[in-house]
Structure 1
Amino acid sequence: MTIRVLTVDDEPLALRRLELILAKLPEVEHVGSASGCREAVAKIAELQPDIVLLDIKMRDGTGFDVLSRLPEDGVPGVIFTTAFDHFAVRAFEAHAIDYILKPIEISRLRAAIDRSRDRLAAVDAREQIAQMRAVIDDLRAGYHEQGVQPRNDELWLRGTAGALTCIQRADIDMITAEDDYVRLHTASASYLLRGSIRAAQADLDLPEEEFVRVHRRALLRRSAIASVRRSAGKGVRVILRNGTDVGAGRVYAKKLLRSLPAVG
């Protein structure tokens, strides 16, 4: 039985990666993709996929918003894709709803699709809808009633060997770009993830007011900056409290200097 899969994510690189992985899986047909909530609802109605790989956080809403807009007889199997939200992971596990942590690996996606294939045959639509609504209710209650407390400010990062490492959002001092990856820098270690700086900032839920872009390849936490210096022949240099020296791009340097509350 061929499983028809729709992918939903607001990052083009993430959609492309999913498309390439799905092409390698037997008896799986990638029927289309959507880059936002509104488009996802329309594509699900139009294409009638068996399974949707559904991103949680998107620019125009969340994956839960997508599900809440679907008719009761039009809910496909859902595999959530999420980036390091421990609270969300606990909610999915409590209701036996599948999820995949980003960056997505082929073996993990294959296993999730196989489980969803079996689940589609075993669970009727009414039961599936009830389970999805239970997940949505739990997550919304947790986020809106308890604020940031449920997530405990934790990020769970999946390493290349598959192990999960927990760090705190507040420990991230810098994010740098390395080709198709980004590196998260803390005082004691660094962690390589697939994606762009913009996507990492959104996926990791890092407040924009706490970070400043100093180069197209570098995003810094404002509180980690110790000084900003002009260097002859080297432009503007940003020195972090741990001694790291980061060169600022010309356009970014002007914006950075204007944003500093200098006195005297």
Structure 2
Amino acid sequence: MTVRTLIVDDEPLARERLRTLLAPEADLHPLAECGDGQEALALIARERPALVFLDVEMPELDGFGVLAEASAAAPPVVVFVTAWPQHAVRAFDASAVDYLLKPFTVERFQRTLARVRERLAAPPGDLRQQLQHLLQELRPAVPTAERLVVKSGTQTLLVPVDAIDWVESAGNYVTLHVGREQHLLRETMAELEARLASRRFARVHRSALVNVDRIHSLSPTLSGDHRLVLRDGQELTLSRTYRARLEEVLGHPL
């Protein structure tokens, strides 16, 4: 049996990695991929995939929103793929078969495929208990970053995480804004976001990650986003897509 598979992730490199890992699997056929929630809804309705690798935080509509709005008829098996371990609790109610935490190893991906195949071959079981075991696996997997190692010419700098004001995406690099200094780090935004998941950092835009202790004020805009001002006067946009994550870190609704 060939399993029709959909890949949904807003980062092209993440989609490419999943596609590469699935290539040797003869029974799993990647029929399509996309980078936002609305397009995912349309593809699920049109293609009726049996398996979906689904990112959580995406433009337009997040992964949980996709599942909430998708047709209940013949629902696909879902594997959530995300940089945020805390979303696993919500995955219980979404009946996900697994929760793949970025960055993941090939061995971890193979365990995911084993769970997918078991789920496809068997009637529904107690997925809540299964995901509780997965949470135990996830918790020690993400180290807490205290400082970041940055190359600057012939020097190696140790940048304390708490000294960072905000982080700007630059393709496969990120720019660390530390006071008046800027440091380029060879790491994707998703990878750094995962490393800082347990710190007081929040993704506020596809291209911006902020130390919430540096936020001075927030004000709504006519577009439904928020204007975010840091203590040094730097202005950023809080996208609607990432509002829930900032509210979670702040512990207060906006």
Could you tell me the TM-score, scaled by structure 2's length?
Answer: 0.55
User: What letter is aligned with 1:25?
Assistant: E
1:180 aligns with 2:176: no
Of residues 166, 170, 176, the one that matches 2:144 is: 166
Matched, 1:206 2:205: no
Q: Secondary structure at the match of 2:73?
A: coil
Matches within 5 A, 1:105-124: 105-123=105-123
- Aligned residue for 1:36? 36
Does the 8 A contact of 1:9 with 1:35 survive in 2?
yes
Question: For the residues of structure 2 that align with 1:165 and 1:198, how far apart are their CA atoms?
Answer: 12
- Sort the Cα spacing of 1:70 and 1:28 in 2 relative to 1 into closer, same or farther, 3 A: same
- Seen in structure 2, the aligned counterparts of structure 1 residues 164 and 31 have a Cα distance that, compared at 3 Å, is same
Look up the SS of the partner of 1:166 in the other structure.
Answer: coil
Question: Over residues 111-134 of structure 1, what are the superposed CA-to-partner deviations in whole Å (9 max), with x where a residue is unaligned?
Answer: 21221121122225xx89xx79xx
Percent sequence identity is: 30
Q: State the Cα distance separating 1:90 from its structure 2 match.
A: 4.0
User: Which residue number in structure 2 is paired with residue 72 of structure 1?
Assistant: 72
Segments of 5+ residues of structure 1 without an aligned counterpart are 136-155, 187-191, 214-218, 225-255
Q: Distance in 1 between matches of 2:191 and 2:115?
A: 32
Matched with 2:188 is 195
CA contact (8 A) 2:103 2:191 kept: no
Match of 1:10 in 2: 10
CA distance 1:28–1:196, change in 2 (3 Å):
same
Contact 1:79 1:98 in 2 (8 A): yes
**Residue number in structure 2 paired with 1:245:** none
Residue 63 (str. 1) matches residue 41 (str. 2):
no
| Aligned partners of 1:9 and 1:15 also within 8 Å | yes
2:220 alignment partner in structure 1: none
Query: Quick one: structure 1 residues 27 and 260, their matched pair in 2 at CA, closer, same or farther if it must change by over 3 Å?
Result: closer
2:87 matches 1:88? yes
The 3-state SS of whatever aligns with 1:107 is helix
TM-score, length basis structure 1: 0.53
* Structure 1 residue 75: Cα displacement: 1.0
The amino acid that maps onto 1:19 is: R
Contact map agreement 2:78 2:96 (CA 8 A) in 1: no
Cα RMSD for the two superposed structures: 4.6
> Cα offset for 1:79?
0.2
Query: How many angstroms does 1:178 deviate by?
Result: 9.0
- Give the aligned length: 184
Task: Give SS of 1:32's match.
Answer: strand
- CA deviations 1:189-223 (Å, max 9, x no partner) are xxx9852479949x9662549xx98xxxxx88597
Distance 1:199 1:43 in 2: 30
Structure 2 Cα separation of the partners of residues 71 and 26 of structure 1 = 28
1:25 and 2:3 correspond: no
* Offset, 1:171: 3.6
- Note if contact 1:177-1:197 (Cα within 8 Å) is conserved in structure 2: no
Runs of 4+ residues over 4 Å off in structure 1: 93-96, 174-179, 181-186, 197-201, 219-224
Report how far residue 34 of structure 1 moved: 1.6
Contact 1:41 1:69 in 2 (8 A): yes
1:57 and 1:65 map into 2 onto residues whose CA distance is 10
Report if the CA contact (8 A) 1:52-1:79 is conserved: yes
Aligned counterparts of 1:63 and 1:23: Cα–Cα separation in 2 = 24
Is the Cα contact below 8 Å between 1:13 and 1:195 reproduced in 2?
A: no
**Alignment CA distance shift 1:184-1:84 (3 Å):** farther
Q: Distance in 1 between matches of 2:170 and 2:111?
A: 29
SS in 2 for 1:42: helix
In structure 2, what residue type is equivalent to 1:13?
L
